[in-house]
Amino acid sequence: MTFSPGKTLLWLIMGPALALLLALPGWMLFDHLSPGKLTGVKEMVGVYPKALLMSVLTPWGWLMYGGFILMSGEKQRTGMICTVSGAIILGLFLPIWSTYMVSA
């Protein structure tokens, strides 16, 4: 297993950055369906580093971080698929999750 800067940068773009980008349309959708029940986008982005750390305890975090391990090994395509699928799930759950993290 080798950690190269190129693979690490690729994982950062496909994993955490993609999750944050997908969280914004997810926030708009959930805010449209239940207006006024979510925290603002500023709070969601502020809680994101803590949510990213806590995602290690969740299945979508296992997919995303496991994808990094797979990408560092010889299974780059499988690692990309795991990383992107974990990022999609994290991005969709982040608006709801961050609301509970801010209020707790």
One digit per residue, pLDDT tens: the chain, 104 residues? 566 777 788 888 888 888 889 899 988 888 888 887 888 888 888 888 888 888 888 888 888 888 888 888 888 888 889 989 999 998 888 888 888 887 76
Q: Which amino acid is at 19?
A: A
Q: What is the pTM of this model?
A: 0.83
**Residue 72: both structure tokens together:** 């560092």
* DSSP-assigned letters across all residues of 21-69: HHHHHHHHHHHHHSTT-SPPHHHHHHHHHHHHHHGGGSHHHHHHHHHHH
- What phi and psi values does residue 83 have, to the nearest 5 degrees? -65, -45
The H or E element spanning position 5 is helix 5-12
